[in-house]
């Protein structure tokens, strides 16, 4: 395959925006499209090699995977090994456990599946994951498990039929991506079925150039290559985390990359720019740069109190290039040489380190991030951060639309709401209220709105699969359960905007069940970066969770006060959830009675749920609401 310097330049155009995006520079809000550029380049280069060898009848699947192992694994394992000691020294058990899971997933090229299960790509939590960026490697390697086999099975059909089949796959993949961007955005972002079409853009470019020459018209080449460069530039500048992705929007950077591959020929402006020695140099080390930049940024953000300054971020970006050069020079290049590293050695190397990282990761996962190495009093605190959602939603799921028993005289309570309703369910069970009452639950995703009105489209989230477009959620099962319940308890992460619809919502509910209890919202301050970085502190209560910013408490107090007034006007009993937990106060520390009450500032730990439950039980006893 003839070397094209402009392709390395294109790699630089891909990696730099990704680095600047992860660093947080606003001008590069769409810098994540660099990954899409990489997908197209990869599809072009690898397909060119495969079909050239197949045309000469000397393609070997073993040789293919040997080349992939030499290209991908040494630098990847080097970065993973470098991350291990820093994760061990700096990460708290919950994060170290997650890191262990990522070690296993990266080793077997399934990290995209892991990060899909864990949540989305955009957000503060993902910024602190050193290996989050390896999802794209997993997508590529999953693709290259299937693609050579596909070509081997279809090669005798001829190029025409191969392209027809690939076109069908392309359209299906693009269609699923467009649907997924609005209905399952996390899955669409991370998984191969919605990303495969991007690699196929490069595949089609490879087929075209393998059987055709570049266009001879300088003017057309000039215009189309500049158009491609402009499409990529526009994506980097104009896109942001709210852009549905991947979707039809993704055609802009991917088609732009395809145009550069096809038309950035010598003497065009795009070719001259991409062939500049400095740009090509960055492209040559782009793989190592991509691998190194995220761990540098993640570990720094994890350790620094607050966000790093712009100067520090620039230094980190520059450092990733410097370290990448050493990685390329002394790790990548030696392993690519068959004279220095034999096939047997590269496969043995791959097996040994895959086993090492898998075993290490499993150990970290099974041992809760080495939690046992902390003093007992700190284990009590730190355990709250290990897979907290498993505790939060478990009971709620168990009793969702659970039929009320007819064999007892307990009050039948239906709890409706978003994730705050999961906290309330845990609270009533921790306080033993389930001994006096029978509970059933119904979950409404945050963003869909826990409001029983039609005119509320401004609250609807476009990327959530809400049950009804009008948000009413008055389906038959829920209506039946509401009519059977003695009382309906409603709770949500209410905002000021929700209050516009609150009166009408309660009136609608009363048409089915007149006995309503309304619960307010809550917040206790998110454990700060100061907490994450001061593992050895002695006074947890004063040094960690006291939040000096009272503005959010003022907002919560106003919402709860307004809810209270609305409840009085409609003769509905109101419980101020914040006051129940803070024992009558408008706000309180996240650290009460020797343990934390919330792992993220709003959702309750077992300790927090028990405090809420006991306070609620006390209020119900005052009002003689519990049966003897």
> Stretch 481-498: mean pLDDT, rounded?
90
* Judgement on whether residues 481 and 556 belong to the same structural domain of the protein: yes
pLDDT at 595: 81
The CATH number given to whatever domain includes residue 413 is 3.40.50.1110
Residue 360, SS3 per DSSP? helix
299-347 tens-digit pLDDT = 998 887 557 888 989 999 999 999 999 999 999 999 999 999 999 999 9
Q: Is 469 in contact with 427 (CB distance < 8 Å)?
A: no
**Confidence check: pLDDT of 471 > 70:** no
**CA-to-CA distance for 493 and 420, rounded, in angstroms?**
6
- End position of a domain, from candidates 337, 369, 401: 369
**CA-to-CA distance for 488 and 93, rounded, in angstroms?**
39
* Judgement on whether residues 255 and 185 belong to the same structural domain of the protein: yes
Is residue 609 in a domain? yes
pLDDT at 81: 97
**Confidence check: pLDDT of 424 > 60:** yes
Find the helix or strand (DSSP H, E) in which 251 lies: helix 251-263
**Widest CA span of the chain, in angstroms?**
92
* Judgement on whether residues 331 and 268 belong to the same structural domain of the protein: yes
* Judgement on whether residues 450 and 579 belong to the same structural domain of the protein: yes
> Stretch 467-488: mean pLDDT, rounded?
72
Is residue 344 in a domain? yes
* Judgement on whether residues 357 and 400 belong to the same structural domain of the protein: no
* Judgement on whether residues 468 and 349 belong to the same structural domain of the protein: no
Number of structural domains (the chain) is: 2
- End position of a domain, from candidates 369, 401, 418: 369
Q: What angle do CA 21, 23, 24 make, to 5 degrees?
A: 65
Q: How confident is the model at residue 549 (pLDDT cuts 50, 70, 90)?
A: low
Q: How confident is the model at residue 536 (pLDDT cuts 50, 70, 90)?
A: very low
Alpha carbon distances (Å) from 101 to 110, 209, 360, 399 = 11, 42, 9, 30
Query: Which of these ranges, 35-49, 211-225, 277-291, 368-382, has the smallest mean pLDDT?
Result: 368-382
pLDDT at 382: 79
pLDDT at 529: 40
Is residue 383 in a domain? no
Alpha carbon distances (Å) from 96 to 99, 371, 382, 391, 601 = 5, 9, 12, 19, 21
pLDDT at 124: 54
* Judgement on whether residues 282 and 407 belong to the same structural domain of the protein: no
Is residue 377 in a domain? no
* Judgement on whether residues 396 and 363 belong to the same structural domain of the protein: no
**Confidence check: pLDDT of 537 > 80:** no
**CA-to-CA distance for 508 and 479, rounded, in angstroms?**
11
Is residue 21 in a domain? yes
- End position of a domain, from candidates 369, 400, 416: 369
* Judgement on whether residues 358 and 413 belong to the same structural domain of the protein: no
> Stretch 531-539: mean pLDDT, rounded?
46
**Confidence check: pLDDT of 157 > 90:** yes
pLDDT at 588: 80
Q: How confident is the model at residue 458 (pLDDT cuts 50, 70, 90)?
A: very low
* Judgement on whether residues 178 and 250 belong to the same structural domain of the protein: yes
557-577 tens-digit pLDDT = 999 999 999 999 999 999 999
pLDDT at 389: 79
Query: Which of these ranges, 39-48, 64-73, 423-432, 589-598, has the smallest mean pLDDT?
Result: 589-598
pLDDT at 526: 61
Structure-token pair, residue 14: 């891909």
Is residue 627 in a domain? no
pLDDT at 200: 97
* Judgement on whether residues 422 and 336 belong to the same structural domain of the protein: no
Is residue 382 in a domain? no
Residue 437, SS3 per DSSP? strand
For residue 327, the number of C-alpha atoms closer than 13 Å in the C-beta half-sphere is 29
> Stretch 68-92: mean pLDDT, rounded?
94
Give me the domain span that covers residue 558: 388-622
**Confidence check: pLDDT of 125 > 50:** yes
**Confidence check: pLDDT of 449 > 70:** no
pLDDT at 551: 66
pLDDT at 463: 40
* Judgement on whether residues 341 and 411 belong to the same structural domain of the protein: no
For residue 427, the number of C-alpha atoms closer than 13 Å in the C-beta half-sphere is 26
> Stretch 76-101: mean pLDDT, rounded?
93
Is residue 438 in a domain? yes
566-617 tens-digit pLDDT = 999 999 999 999 999 988 887 887 778 878 888 888 899 999 999 999 999 9
**CA-to-CA distance for 616 and 134, rounded, in angstroms?**
46
519's torsion region: left (phi>0), alpha (psi -120 to 50) or beta? Answer: beta
């Amino acid at each position: 395959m003839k070397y094209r310097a402009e392709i390395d330049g294109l790699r630089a155009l891909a990696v730099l925006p990704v680095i600047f995006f992860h660093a947080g520079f606003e001008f590069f809000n769409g810098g994540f499209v660099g990954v899409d550029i990489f997908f197209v380049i990869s599809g072009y280069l690898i397909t060119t090699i495969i079909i050239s060898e197949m045309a000469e009848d000397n393609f070997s699947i073993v040789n293919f995977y040997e080349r992939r192992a030499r290209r991908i694994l040494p630098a990847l394992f080097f970065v993973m090994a470098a991350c291990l000691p820093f994760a061990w020294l700096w990460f708290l058990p919950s994060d170290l456990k997650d890191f262990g899971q990522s070690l296993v997933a990266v080793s077997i090229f399934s990290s995209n599946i892991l990060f899909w299960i864990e949540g989305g790509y955009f957000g503060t939590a993902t910024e602190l994951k050193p290996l989050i960026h390896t999802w794209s490697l997993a997508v590529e390697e999953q693709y290259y498990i299937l693609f050579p086999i596909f070509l081997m099975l279809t090669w005798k059909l001829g190029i025409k039929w191969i392209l027809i089949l690939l076109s069908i796959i392309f359209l299906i993949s693009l269609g699923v991506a467009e649907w997924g961007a609005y209905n399952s955005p996390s899955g669409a972002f991370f998984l191969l079925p919605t990303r495969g079409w991007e690699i196929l853009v490069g595949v089609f470019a490879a087929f075209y150039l393998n059987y055709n020459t570049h266009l001879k018209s300088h003017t057309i080449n000039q215009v189309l290559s500049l158009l491609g460069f402009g499409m990529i530039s526009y994506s980097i500048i104009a896109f942001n985390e709210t852009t549905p992705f991947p979707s039809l929007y993704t055609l802009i950077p991917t088609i732009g990359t395809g145009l550069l591959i096809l038309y950035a020929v010598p003497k065009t402006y795009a070719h001259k720019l991409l062939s500049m020695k400095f740009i090509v140099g960055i492209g040559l080390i782009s793989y190592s740069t991509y691998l190194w930049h995220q761990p540098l940024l993640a570990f720094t953000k994890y350790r620094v109190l607050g966000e790093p300054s712009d100067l520090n971020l620039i230094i980190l970006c520059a450092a990733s290039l410097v370290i990448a050069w050493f990685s390329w020079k002394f790790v990548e290049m030696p392993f690519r040489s068959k004279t220095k590293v034999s096939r047997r050695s590269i496969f043995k190397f791959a097996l040994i380190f895959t086993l090492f990282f898998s075993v290490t990761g499993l150990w970290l996962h099974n041992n809760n991030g080495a939690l046992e190495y902390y003093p007992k009093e700190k284990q009590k605190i730190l355990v709250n951060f290990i897979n907290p959602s498993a505790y939060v939603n478990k009971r709620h799921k168990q009793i969702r639309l659970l039929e009320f028993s007819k064999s007892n005289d307990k009050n039948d309570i239906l709890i409706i709401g978003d994730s705050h309703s999961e906290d309330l369910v845990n609270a009533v069970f921790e306080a033993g209220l389930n001994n006096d009452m029978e509970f059933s639950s119904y979950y409404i995703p945050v963003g869909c709105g826990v409001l029983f009105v039609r005119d509320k489209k401004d609250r609807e989230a476009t990327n959530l699969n809400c049950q009804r477009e009008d948000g009413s959620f008055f389906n038959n099962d829920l209506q039946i359960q509401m009519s059977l319940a003695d009382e309906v308890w409603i709770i949500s992460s209410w905002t000021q905007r929700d209050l516009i619809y609150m009166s009408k919502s309660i009136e609608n509910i009363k048409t089915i069940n007149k006995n309503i209890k309304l619960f307010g919202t809550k917040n206790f301050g998110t454990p700060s970066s100061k907490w994450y970085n001061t593992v050895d502190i002695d006074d947890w209560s004063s040094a960690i969770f006291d939040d000096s910013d009272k503005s959010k408490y003022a907002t919560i107090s106003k919402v709860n006060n307004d809810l209270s007034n609305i409840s009085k006007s409609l003769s509905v009993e109101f419980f101020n959830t914040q006051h129940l937990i803070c024992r009558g106060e408008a706000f309180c520390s996240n650290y009460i009675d020797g343990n934390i009450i919330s792992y993220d500032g709003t959702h309750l730990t077992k300790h927090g749920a028990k405090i809420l439950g006991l306070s609620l039980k006390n209020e119900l006893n005052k009002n003689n609401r519990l049966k003897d």
